Chain A
C-alpha cells in the first residue's frame, strides 16, 4: 500500500512520477523506429530477401506510430492539449522540440505509405463499388494514373522518402533516449550512451516484433512463411541484439569500473530493486538465451528444418521483446527508485491492475496497434502484390 523506504530520501523522491505509461512510451516508439528500419532495408538498401515484408513493416511502423503518443496522453491527462506539441513545437524545451521530429516523421511515413500503395489504391478505386470506391477515390486524390511511368515515379519518390526516413526514425527514437540521457541530475539516466542504447534496442524490438507478426500474418492468411525472409530478419536481429546488449553491458562496466559516487546506488539498484528485471530478464533470459538461440539459427540454420528454424527465431524474438521491455522498465522505473541524495531507496514499485496508468491501461494501449494493423491489412493488403507477379511487381515497391 505504501512504499517501503530505506535510507535518506527527500520527500519528493517517494513518489514514482513516471509510471508504467512512461515505460510503454519508449517501447512503442522503439517498435515504430525498428519496423521502419526493416522496411527501409528493402526499400532503400534493396535487400531482396526482405521483399515479402517491405510493405508490411511500413504498415506496422505506421500503426505503432498512431498509438505512440497515447501512453503520454494518458499519463499527462488533458489529451485535448496533445495537439499543442504538434502545432507549437519549439526548441526551448527538450520535450516540445519533439514536436518537430514527430510531425516530420509522421508526414514522411504517411507519404511513403501513400506512394508505396498508390498503384493499389488506384486499382481498388477503379475495381471496387459503392462506398469502398469513393473511399479509395479519396485516397487516390482523384488521380487514376497507374501507368508504368507514374509507378516508376512513385518508386523513386518512395526510395527518397525511405532514405530520409531512416535518419528521421533514428532521431525519433534517439531523441527519446536523449530525453533520459540529458537529465544530468540522475546518474542512472545521464549518459551520452543513452540515445544510442535506446536506438539499438528499438531496432531489436522492431525486428523481433516483425518476425512474430510476419509469421502470424502468414498463418492467418494460410500461406507459407518465406523462410529466407525470416532467416534474414534473424540475422539482422542477431547483429542488432549483439550491439544493443554490448552497449548495455558496456554502460554498466564503465559505471562499475569508474567507481564514481553514483556506483554506490547503482550497484545496489542492480542487485536489489532491479535484480530480476535487469540481471534475470534483461541480461540472461532476454539477452544471453536469445543470443545463443539466434546464433544457432544464423550459424546452423541451413541444417534446420523450416519449422525448427522459424520456431527458434520466434522464441528468440519473444524473449528479445521481453528484454527490450525490461530495459525500458529498468531505465524509467529504476531511475526513480533511488533518491537524489544518493543515500536512500524506494524498495518496490508495482503498478496496479486497474489504475489509470496501470497494467490494464498499458495492455489496452499495446493491443491497439495490432487492431489498427488488422484494419490496415483489410483496407490496403500488404502481401497481395507478391502474389500478383511481375507486371505490377517489377522492382522496389
Chain B
C-alpha cells in the first residue's frame, strides 16, 4: 500500500474535523436547550414571559397600604410638597416590609443625598419651577458640609422646604 500519498498523512486532520463536527453538534444541542419553547410565539421574545409577568405577586401597595400603620407620617406627607411622590418611591415596596397588614421586616432605608438629587439635581431640561440644585454648591451656600446625608440636616423628606 502507498504511504507517501499526502492523504495517508491526513489522519490528524480527519480527527480535528470530527472534533469540530462534535463541537458544532454540541453547540446545536446546547442551543436547542437554551432557546425556550415559547420563543417566537408572539414575536421576538419568549411567549411564556407574558404570563410570568402577569403572575408576579404585587410588590407595591400604594400609599393607602402605608397609612394604616403610619398615620402620622401619612398626614405630614400629604400636607407637604412631596404629597404627589408615592411612599414606595423613596422607601422600598411594601411587600418587603409587611405582609397581610402585619410587620415582618424592617423597611430598607435609603436616606442618601443620591436619592434626592436623582430628582433635584439642576438640569435645564427640567421644568423651570421645579426645585433644582447643584448639590455641592447648595450645601456650601447653606453653610453645611457635603456628605451622603447632607440633605437631611435641613430637609424633612416627608415634607421638605
Contact = CB atoms under 8 A, between A and B. Distances in A.
Interface of A: 1-2, 4-5, 7-11, 14, 83-84, 86-88, 92, 107, 111, 114, 118, 140-143, 145, 147, 149-150, 152-153, 157, 339, 341, 343-344
Given A2-B117, A87-B30, A143 B11 contact: yes
B159 to A, nearest CB: 24
B137 to A, nearest CB: 10
Interface string B117-143: 100011111100000001110000000
B12 A9 contact: no
Interface of B: 4, 6, 8-13, 15-16, 19-20, 23, 27, 30-31, 34-35, 44, 117, 121-126, 134-136, 146
Given A107-B20, A111-B16, A145 B121 contact: no
A83 B11 CA distance: 31
Given A1-B136, A5-B123, A11-B126, A147 B9 contact: yes
A86 B31 CA distance: 9
Nearest to B7: A153
A14 B123 contact: yes
B64 to A, nearest CB: 29
A232 to B, nearest CB: 32
13 contacts: A2-B135, A4-B134, A9-B124, A11-B125, A83-B34, A87-B34, A88-B34, A88-B35, A107-B20, A141-B15, A143-B12, A153-B6, A153-B9
A240 B35 CA distance: 43
Nearest to A92: B44
Given A87-B34, A141-B19, A147-B9, 4 more contacts: A2-B135, A5-B121, A149-B8, A344-B125
Contacts, number: 73
Contacts of A14: 121, 123
Chain B: interface secondary structure?
helix
Contacts of B136: 1-2
Nearest to B135: A2
Contact of A152 (B6, B12, B124): B6
A208 B11 CA distance: 39
B71 to A, nearest CB: 34
Contact of A9 (B34, B123, B135): B123
Given A1-B136, A2-B117, A149-B8, A344 B124 contact: yes
Contacts of B125: 8-11, 339, 341, 344
Contacts of A142: 15
Contacts of B35: 88
B12 A140 contact: yes
B130 to A, nearest CB: 11
A28 B34 CA distance: 29
A88 B23 CA distance: 15
Contacts of B10: 150, 153
Contacts of B34: 83-84, 87-88
**Best-buried of B11, B44, B125, B135 by chain A (most CB within 10 Å):** B125
Contacts of B31: 87-88
Contacts of B121: 2, 5, 14
Contacts of A145: 9, 11-12
Question: Which 6 residue pairs are nearest across A and B when measured between Cβ atoms?
Answer: A143-B12, A150-B9, A8-B124, A149-B9, A141-B15, A87-B31
